[in-house]
Amino acid sequence: MRQLDVNLMHPVEQINVIIGRIYRSGMTTTSGGNISIRDKNGDIWITPSGVDKGSLTTKDIMQVKQDGTIIGPHRPSSELPFHRAIYEARPEITAIIHAHPPALVAFSIAGIVPDTKIVPQAHHICGDVGFAPYGTPGSEELGEKIAREFQDTRYRAVIMENHGVVLGGVDMMDAYQRFETLEFCCRTIVNAKRLGGVNYLSDEQVSQYVNHLPENISYFMNIDYPSEERAIRREMVDIIRRACNQGLMISTYGTVSVRWKGDDFLITPRNLARWDIVPGDIVQIKNGMAEAGKVPSRSVALHQRIYQLNPHINSIICTQPINLMAHAVSGSAISC
């Protein structure tokens, strides 16, 4: 059974789930960061001020109605002014995340906007990134400076000078995946520079990624799920969850496949947050075709070819752990 999509939850549940993930990932402190959702009726749901981010519950999330009425047991976040300013500047944005993850804060202090063209999907998710000059936290001035950056529709992420980052999304998962991916880029760049330098991709290389996503996949209808196949699905999900918990995968990247029989195999799906994948999402590949109703990872052809040419290989994992990626983007060999 498919787990409940975060975006289908009530705003207080969405905020509680995502702030919990951010806190457990070490991307905010007990007192730092705030996230919000704007309802279609104009109400804003936002994290409270002065409440431990590691112990928030749905009852702590504040509602600020369009007329300014505040509903809830606490004061809304002190950064409510810039959340409002962003929503006013960009009507299509319905979710905002602001936090102080270590690598992004380092870039904000250095006054540098990260170049996300280290892997093609990262730039595809993050896009261009803006930079807002320093403003006093919680002030109207800060809100005006951030909103001025968001008025440029190229930006869905803005670095805040000597502060942190703020990101917008068409929904909460869109904002979260951009946030997580941008911090991944910053951490990778910092580590790669320690090894010597960063080899950035060209605009052409990034566009090739978008333009060459597989679209001509064939599908089969006569699907069978014998017990041994179902056991593999469960094992794959366990591995994916462990990889996410250990920081070896992020919500937007990580592919696992397992040979089932002959050259047929099971593979993770495309466009699902990795930590939300359940056994029923895994895609069966048989005779080069995918089971109907599911979309396999964009690297399905690569996995298929590896299995065909290497009968001794029975499982493949493609992912981007931070420290290994530092070697990949710097061209620095690993000495074992």
Angstrom distance (rounded) from CA 62 to CA 72: 5
Angstrom distance (rounded) from CA 149 to CA 98: 15
End-to-end CA distance of the chain: 43
Angstrom distance (rounded) from CA 333 to CA 43: 52
Angstrom distance (rounded) from CA 209 to CA 33: 33
The single residue listed with the structure tokens 């670095």 is: 159
User: What phi, psi does 163 have (nearest 5°)?
Assistant: -145, -70
Amino acid code (one letter) for 250: I
Which residues, 6+ apart, have CB-to-CB distance to 37 below 8 Å?
Answer: 11, 14, 15, 44, 45, 46, 94, 95, 172
- Biggest CA–CA distance in the chain, Å, is 66
Angstrom distance (rounded) from CA 294 to CA 206: 26
Angstrom distance (rounded) from CA 333 to CA 251: 27
149 included as an active-site residue: no
The alpha carbon of 15 is separated from its chain's Cα centroid by a whole number of angstroms, namely 15
Give the residue numbers annotated as catalytic, written as ranges: 79
